[in-house]
């Protein structure tokens, strides 16, 4: 039985590998977690989803906490990531988002034209709209009891704008990209509103208990170098600057998927680490960023369809490519997929632990 503690005491962190690696330090072993590590590939997550809708889980701290802990308990990953979604920010701005089974998120009334920006709630009260996320973070931090750090996150301005204008997932996000050329000033106004809110949201997440934060620019790769520099980079930089000014000791990670051309500029922002997708070569990335930032990633999520022995070999190659100078957080190059086998996720985590020098403690 755990000893009882005074209600507000902060339990000591027993595993701070990810905090140190994200700051660029050399660690005894390489920390590992997976984007979308809580989700449909886990039967225990499916069991919760059989009883509750997606946004019910996100909106109920007890349930969000429960599914956040599932991969920590099953897989012994080195970080928990709070169960939520990037689309809670558009919701806080007053847009309705529905999770349609088999289709993903859908906005019944997207921002089809710039005049509709006026429909958004300016300056929403974060505690009133997203208080459930802060409560989930505080609860999860207590239940983790210092086992591993808790990661908070938000979507990046461009990625959120892409969903808000397009109305849902899309291959090309043509409507959202149309805005950048047809209505650049309105696009900048929307991106600025999003950046201010996201920065404030991440600051509050750290106050509530997040010990690392990650900004997901999942659709950065749709932009191209110049467009990224104009419509994504300044807003990503603003978020990091505000966040680090408020929480200098909390590592901030940025994931600009599909945008290798962004590495050099991102390394000059205030992010501590850059997450690489699986198409990026770790050594080439290291050559570009030098010692300016730590790196995270980057096994192809589809490599988890290979047999466990092959996963282990690929993990070995990945660790070698990132080198042994430290400053590496192992992860996938994008999220877990719904038909992944949880045993293969375990093979990935165990291989990082074993091959980077640690013998996994027997459960």
Give Cα separations from 230 to 249, 262, 318, 354 (angstroms): 29, 12, 32, 43
Stretch that binds ligand 1CP, among 23-31, 37-45, 188-196, 271-279 (CB under 6 A): 37-45
- From 13, 54, 60, 117, residue interacting with ligand 1CP (rule: CB under 6 A): 54
Catalytic residue among 20, 41, 45, 85: 85
Binding flag, residue 217, ligand 1CP (CB under 6 A)? no
The reply on whether position 37 binds ligand 1CP by CB under 6 A is: yes
Window 300-339: residues binding ligand 1CP (CB under 6 A):
335
261 interacts with ligand 1CP by CB under 6 A: no
What minimum distance in Å lies between the beta carbon of 157 and ligand 1CP?
A: 13
Cβ-Cβ contacts under 8 Å for 244 (sequence gap 6 or more): 250, 252, 270
Instruction: Let me know if 49 is a catalytic residue.
Output: yes
When asked if residue 153 is in the footprint of ligand 1CP (CB under 6 A), the reply is yes
Edge-to-edge strand ranges of the sheet holding 150-155:
80-81, 150-155, 212-217, 252-256, 273-275, 294-299, 328-332
Closest CA to 210 of 81, 67, 115: 81
CA-based nearest residue to 152, from 191, 76, 203:
203
Query: Could you say whether residue 75 binds ligand 1CP (CB under 6 A)?
Result: no
- CA 32 to chain centroid, in Å, comes to 13
Active site annotation includes 163: yes
Could you tell me where the beta strands, DSSP code E, fall in the chain?
Answer: 80-81, 98-100, 104-106, 150-155, 212-217, 252-256, 273-275, 294-299, 328-332
User: Is the separation of the CB atoms in 184 and 120 below 8 Å?
Assistant: no
Of the candidate spans 98-106, 138-146, 197-205, 303-311, the one that interacts with ligand 1CP by CB under 6 A turns out to be 98-106
Question: What part of residues 265-294 is at the interface with ligand 1CP (CB under 6 A)?
Answer: none
Q: Other C-beta atoms within 10 Å of 110: how many?
A: 18
Question: Is 298 near ligand 1CP (CB under 6 A)?
Answer: no
Residue 158 touching ligand 1CP (CB under 6 A) = no
40 catalytic per annotation: yes
Task: Just list the catalytic residues.
Answer: 36, 40, 49, 85, 163
Contacts to ligand 1CP by CB under 6 A: 35-40, 49, 54, 81, 83, 85-87, 99, 104-105, 153, 169, 216, 218, 335
């Amino acid at each position: 039985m755990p000893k009882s503690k005074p209600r507000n005491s902060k339990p000591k962190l027993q595993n701070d590998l990810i905090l140190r690696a994200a700051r660029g330090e050399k660690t005894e072993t390489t920390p590992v977690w997976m984007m979308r590590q809580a989700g449909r590939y886990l039967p225990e997550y499916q069991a919760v989803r059989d009883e509750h809708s997606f946004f019910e889980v996100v909106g109920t701290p007890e349930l969000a906490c429960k599914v956040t802990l599932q991969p920590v308990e099953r897989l012994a990953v080195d970080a928990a990531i709070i169960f939520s979604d990037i689309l809670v920010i558009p919701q806080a701005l007053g847009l309705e988002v529905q999770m349609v089974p088999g289709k993903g998120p859908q906005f019944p009334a997207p921002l089809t034209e710039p005049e509709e920006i006026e429909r958004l709630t300016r300056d929403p009260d974060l505690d009133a709209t997203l208080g459930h996320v802060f409560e989930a973070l505080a609860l999860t931090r207590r239940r983790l009891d210092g086992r591993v750090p808790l990661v908070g996150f938000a979507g990046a301005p461009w990625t959120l704008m892409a969903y808000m204008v397009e109305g849902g997932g899309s291959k090309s996000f043509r409507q959202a990209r149309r805005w950048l050329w047809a209505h650049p000033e309105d696009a900048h106004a929307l991106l600025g509103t999003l950046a201010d809110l996201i920065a404030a949201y991440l600051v509050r997440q750290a106050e509530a208990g997040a010990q690392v934060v990650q900004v997901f620019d999942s659709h950065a790769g749709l932009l191209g170098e110049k467009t990224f520099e104009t419509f994504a980079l300044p807003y990503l930089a603003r978020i990091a600057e505000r966040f680090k000014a408020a929480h200098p000791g909390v590592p901030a990670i940025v994931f600009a998927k599909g945008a290798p051309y962004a590495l050099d500029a991102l390394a000059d922002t205030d992010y501590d680490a850059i997450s690489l997708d699986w198409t990026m070569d770790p050594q080439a990335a290291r050559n570009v960023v030098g010692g300016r930032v730590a790196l995270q990633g980057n096994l192809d999520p589809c490599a988890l369809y290979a047999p466990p022995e092959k996963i282990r070999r690929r993990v070995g190659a990945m660790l070698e490519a990132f080198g042994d100078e430290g400053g590496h957080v192992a992860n996938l190059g994008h999220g877990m997929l719904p038909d992944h086998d949880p045993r293969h996720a375990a093979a990935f985590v165990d291989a990082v632990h074993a091959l980077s020098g640690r013998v996994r403690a027997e459960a």
